[in-house]
Amino acid sequence: TALLLLFILYINPESVIVLSIVNLGSLLLLGNSVRLIQGKLLSPFLLIAASLYVFHSGHLWLSLLNVDPASFLLSFDWYKASNIHYIIETYTGITSLLIIFMTVGVLTIKPIVPENETDITNYYVTNYFKFGFIVLYLLAFYFEAGRAINVSNSGYGDGYHYSSSIAQYIVFSVEVLLLMLLYIYRKNPKQFKFYLFLDFAKIFFVMFFVGNRGTSVINLLIILFIITNYSYLAYDQRKLKRIILSVFAFLLVALPFISATRGERSNMGITEFVNTSSPIESFLEEFGGTVYNVFLTQDYISAIGSAHGLQILGTTLSIFPGSTMLFGDIITKNVSIGSMLNIYNNRQGLGGSMIAQLYFNFGESFFLYISIAIVALVVSLISNKLMKGNMGLYKTILLLSLFSGFMTFVKSEWYDVVTEVKVCAYLIILLYTFRSQL
């Protein structure tokens, strides 16, 4: 199927419609193959794959709803394209990478074979640990409130950053600890609901008052994964269907609404937004905009050249303690392609993109296709492990953090994966060292 899709893709007579159908068809056909092999729809691999497609192909799918698909794509100024040939060529490259990603998944995803669950009845948190966590949670909320105030005063592009790296590490630590607590108490309805409430409160505050939707959506999807695969709710299929449909319906309406109002003094209400906008069109137009990163990256490397993998290597060095002091400019100058593209294009607020980062590092060389295959293989291995069942507390938390990191990587940077794993590793070492007290 993948070979047939690639064949159609590269004999395509520069038709946006054919390109769009091949792109969407690759997700549906190959994604369904992954579902049939593994046996579940909400797997880490499929969640990451679907996000990759939406963020990099949303505009392409939306063009199918227009009378003139080519003119529709040409209407996006950020593509920096005056002819449809360049747009089709770029989307063809993106689609081929997505097909490779899905093909590696089809070849490496394994059926779920549940293991005997490790007895976790001895795991609980002491009052001392709970008090420390609540203090840390309130501190993280304080930093999020600071971001909300900055966004209100100066707009999203200037205000959404954390005030310091310490603030970012504290927020990341709270996110990892919440994953751990949800997992520990997954069979305890009272405690599970308590930590679920804390997680939701933080997620919705960041969504609506800071306007940073990416991390919030990722956290929501990981919570949904924990609920559907690990929690006491996993056995109630009727309730599960309602939860899943409610989450996706909320995301479909809320995310474009947040985008339309964030960083602005807008009086637009949710009713007015729904009446004046199609939620599906707004969703695809907004989130499909991540593809801008790929177009801007291609423009950048055509003028300056690719990084030959050194940008990813420099970012990876940040996993070591005291990395900035040890490696200095190697890290600070390479940590974000979004920052480089913002400076190069004299603009603000550009995020990141997994595919853009791979282009930035490898151009259109053979290593570009090798790199997307390696990413797909790692995501597949994480998915296989997490879908298998309990592997012990520390290993599960590390894998959930990796899942979170790669979900973030889709619309951000490799640096986020490294930071998430580093913070998680530090926390696991601390928790293991002081486990008798905690």
DSSP 32-82: HHHHHHHS-SS-HHHHHHHHHHHHHHHHHHHHTTSSSHHHHHHT-GGG--S
CA angle 432, 434, 437 (to 5 degrees): 130
Among the residues of 109-164, which ranges form H helices? 127-154, 156-159
What distance in Å separates the CA atoms of residue 377 and residue 393, rounded to the nearest whole number?
24
Residue ranges for the chain with pLDDT beneath 70: 80-81, 114-122, 156-157, 255-279, 322-335, 348-349, 390
What distance in Å separates the CA atoms of residue 384 and residue 288, rounded to the nearest whole number?
28
Give residue 273's pLDDT: 53
Give residue 262's pLDDT: 55
Give residue 119's pLDDT: 47
What distance in Å separates the CA atoms of residue 268 and residue 257, rounded to the nearest whole number?
9
Give residue 264's pLDDT: 47
Report the 10 Å Cβ neighbour count for 394.
17
Give residue 390's pLDDT: 65
Give residue 305's pLDDT: 86
